[in-house]
Amino acid sequence: MEEHDFTAFPELTNAQLETLRFQSPHEQIEEDFDAIVMKVVDGDTVHLRWDLRAFSFPLRLHDIDAPELSEGGSEARDWLTQRVLGKRVLIQIDKKNRVDKYGRLLGRVIADGLDVAEEMIRSGLEICYIPDEITVCALIGEIKFKNPYIIIGINRYYCVLAIRDVGNVCYWGRVILSRFDSIT
C-alpha cells in the first residue's frame, strides 16, 4: 500500500485521489471554497484557513509566476499582503489541475469580487501571466503565443517573454513589443 506524508503534502494529486482518498486525515479539496488568508509567503503563494480543516495550508495562485523574494519579488509579496491578508476570499479550483509539482493546491483567489492575479497583472507588477493561449496586439500586428512553448507576461509598459525548453526550464527575457497604458 502506498504511503503519503499528509503533514508535508496535505493535497493529493488527482491520480493519488483514486488510491489514497480514504487514507487522508482531512477533507481533500475538489470544489471552490471560501477561506481566510492567514499568511502571504511571496507574490504567488498564500496560506489559507478553511472551515473544514484544522490547519492552514498553502495555495499557489493559478496562472501567474511572481519573482522569488531573492530576485526582487518583495514588491509583489507586499502588494498581495496588503490586498488579501486576513480577508475571507473565494478560491476557485480547476478540477483538472488542482495541485502543483510541490504539492500545493492551485487556485484563483477572488477578493471583493475581483481575480487577484488579474489585478496584479493590471497593476504593473513584475509577474508573468501564464495563459493557455493569448493574442497580443503589437507594432507588428497580432502575435499568438501558445503554451507550453512560449509564456507571455504583461504589465503596463512591456511584454515579457519566457521560452521553455524541452526540460520544461523557463528562460526569461524582456522584449518590448509596444507601450500600452492599459490592458483590455
- CATH number of the domain within which 56 lies: 2.40.50.90
The pLDDT, as a whole number, for residue 82 is 97
- Assess whether 115 and 160 both reside in one domain: no
- Assess whether 31 and 87 both reside in one domain: yes
- Assess whether 87 and 143 both reside in one domain: no
Domain count, the chain: 2
For residue 180, being part of any structural domain is answered with no
- Assess whether 71 and 160 both reside in one domain: no
For residue 108, being part of any structural domain is answered with yes
Domain boundary (104, 122, 140) is at 122
The pLDDT, as a whole number, for residue 180 is 34
For residue 152, being part of any structural domain is answered with yes
**Strand spans (E) along the chain:** 33-42, 45-49, 56-61, 64-65, 88-92, 105-111, 114-115, 128-129, 133-138, 141-146, 150-154, 159-164, 170-175
For residue 5, being part of any structural domain is answered with no
- What pTM value is reported for the model? 0.71
For residue 106, being part of any structural domain is answered with yes
- Assess whether 108 and 44 both reside in one domain: yes
For residue 1, being part of any structural domain is answered with no
DSSP 49: E
pLDDT, tens digit only, all 184 positions of the chain: 568 999 889 999 999 999 999 999 999 999 999 999 999 999 999 999 999 999 999 999 987 888 888 888 899 999 999 999 999 999 999 998 899 888 899 999 999 999 998 888 777 776 665 544 433 333 333 444 444 434 444 443 344 444 433 333 333 333 333 333 333 3
Domain boundary (77, 92, 122) is at 122
Written as nine digits, the cell of 109 is 483567489
Domain boundary (80, 103, 122) is at 122
- Assess whether 117 and 134 both reside in one domain: no
Domain assignment of residue 142, given as a range: 130-175
For residue 116, being part of any structural domain is answered with yes
Cβ distance 86 to 132 under 8 Å? no
